[in-house]
């Protein structure tokens, strides 16, 4: 039988399939819809230091082959996450990757990472430096940039977090850049153990009957199958230059699309928007990857990663 296990840094997963932050809540929301224990890992909804109500409604709308959202990182804050969400996550027995973000000051990443360093259940920390629905007041964000759109800012945040925690760091990258590999290299040099990509693409949709944007914040993040070719290319671009593992995401809906990312260089994949369409997608992809490996006499996942044939 094929071995589906993979290593993301020092973290071993029994298979390469996880869920994207923000599309799976804190796992309990899906307990009656799928077998949580089959997942390789659970990436939590992003938490901030303090509770956030998020952006005003409407916050989502459907787009051709995708979805536009501007949730604004609604979450209960670190304290409530530890007391109210972690106990359930512990019951799943699945590696938990805690996604974190700052609201106003990038130094909040350090505060959260230092606090999570003491939380045994947190197998790794995802630095969400690429949410398009949050803007910071400090440089370089004063110019409207995300941290993940600036190599220097990315390096500084990751380096500071690296000093604050011994846990594995996964840096989540934005597609809204000219060269995503350049940002990934900055994260790698600063001590990130892996990168995840891509976060949502910036997008906008207008209701022509009212002449108003379909979401209250005017623009938001585009996800779903529409962005998959962009995400696969960016995974390939990053794979050419990075030495650390890549977690690929962006429009994964089935086994074939998951395998595209893996063949492009992803060590693991994460399912996002499709969880809303069919909560059992991850289960089906895990089974499908296994079937693909058996059919092609592939013994382990390392043989699949980066196996696309060019030329």
| Residue-level pLDDT at 145 | 81
More confident residue, 104 or 228: 228
Q: With respect to residue 198, please indicate whether it lies within any of the assigned structural domains.
A: yes
The 8-class DSSP code of residue 83 comes to I
Q: With respect to residue 61, please indicate whether it lies within any of the assigned structural domains.
A: no
Q: With respect to residue 71, please indicate whether it lies within any of the assigned structural domains.
A: no
Q: How far apart are CA 258 and CA 179, in angstroms?
A: 23
- The dihedrals phi and psi of 191, each to the nearest 5 degrees, come to 115, 10
Half-sphere exposure of residue 133: CA atoms within 13 angstroms, side-chain side = 28
Q: With respect to residue 209, please indicate whether it lies within any of the assigned structural domains.
A: no
Tell me if residue 131 is catalytic: yes
Would you say the pTM of this structure is higher than 0.85? yes
pLDDT for 156 beyond 80: yes
Q: Considering the candidates 20, 61, 131, 282, report the single residue annotated as catalytic.
A: 131
| Residue-level pLDDT at 135 | 52
pLDDT band at 104 (very low <50, low <70, confident <90, very high): confident
CB of 269 closer than 8 Å to CB of 250 = no
Give residues with Cβ within 8 angstroms of 83, minimum separation 6.
none
| Residue-level pLDDT at 134 | 59
Q: What is the mean pLDDT of residues 140-144?
A: 46
Q: What is the mean pLDDT of residues 127-154?
A: 73
pLDDT for 108 beyond 60: yes
Q: With respect to residue 215, please indicate whether it lies within any of the assigned structural domains.
A: no
Give the count of domains, the chain.
1
Q: Which domain holds residue 268?
A: 6-55+77-204+226-303
CB of 104 closer than 8 Å to CB of 138 = yes
Percent of the chain with pLDDT over 90: 93
pLDDT for 74 beyond 80: yes
Query: CA angle at residue 235 from 128 to 1, to 5 degrees?
Result: 105
| Residue-level pLDDT at 141 | 40
What is the secondary structure of 168-214 as a DSSP string?
Answer: EEEEEPPSSSS-HHHHHHHHHHHT-SEEEE--PEEEE-EETTTTEES
Q: With respect to residue 63, please indicate whether it lies within any of the assigned structural domains.
A: no
Structure-block tokens of residue 253: 């809906």
Angstrom CA distances, 80 to 76, 99, 165, 199, 225, stand at 6, 15, 21, 25, 33
Q: What is the mean pLDDT of residues 280-286?
A: 97
| Residue-level pLDDT at 140 | 41
Return the CATH number at 35.
Answer: 3.20.20.70
Q: Each residue of 264-279: pLDDT tens digit?
A: 999 999 999 999 999 9
CB of 43 closer than 8 Å to CB of 89 = no
Peptide bond into 198 cis (omega under 30): yes
């Amino acid at each position: 039988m094929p071995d589906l296990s993979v290593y993301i840094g020092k973290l071993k997963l029994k298979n390469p399939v996880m869920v994207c932050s923000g599309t799976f809540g804190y796992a309990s929301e899906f307990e009656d819809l799928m077998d949580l224990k089959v997942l390789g890992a659970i990436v939590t909804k992003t938490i901030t230091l303090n509770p956030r109500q998020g952006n005003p409604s409407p916050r989502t709308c459907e787009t051709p082959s995708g979805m536009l959202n501007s949730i604004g990182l609604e979450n209960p804050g670190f304290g409530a996450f530890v007391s109210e969400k972690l106990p359930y996550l512990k019951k799943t027995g699945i590696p938990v990757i805690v996604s974190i973000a700052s609201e106003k000051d990038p130094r909040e990443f350090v505060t959260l990472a230092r606090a999570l360093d003491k939380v045994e259940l947190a197998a790794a920390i995802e630095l969400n430096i690429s949410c398009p629905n949050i803007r910071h007041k400090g440089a370089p964000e004063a110019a409207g940039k995300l941290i993940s759109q600036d190599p220097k800012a990315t390096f500084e945040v990751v380096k500071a977090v690296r000093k604050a925690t011994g846990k594995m760091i996964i840096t989540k990258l934005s597609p809204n850049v000219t060269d995503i590999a350049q940002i990934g290299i900055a994260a790698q040099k600063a001590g990130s153990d892996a990168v995840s990509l891509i976060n949502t693409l910036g997008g906008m949709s207008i209701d022509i009957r009212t002449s108003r944007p379909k979401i209250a914040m005017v623009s938001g993040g585009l996800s779903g199958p529409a962005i998959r070719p962009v995400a696969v290319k960016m995974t390939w671009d990053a794979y050419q230059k990075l030495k650390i593992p890549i977690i690929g995401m962006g429009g994964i809906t089935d086994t074939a699309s998951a395998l595209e990312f893996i063949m492009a260089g992803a060590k693991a994949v994460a399912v996002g928007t499709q969880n809303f369409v069919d909560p059992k997608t991850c289960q089906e992809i895990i089974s499908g990857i296994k079937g693909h490996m058996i059919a092609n006499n592939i013994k382990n996942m390392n043989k699949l990663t980066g196996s696309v044939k060019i030329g």
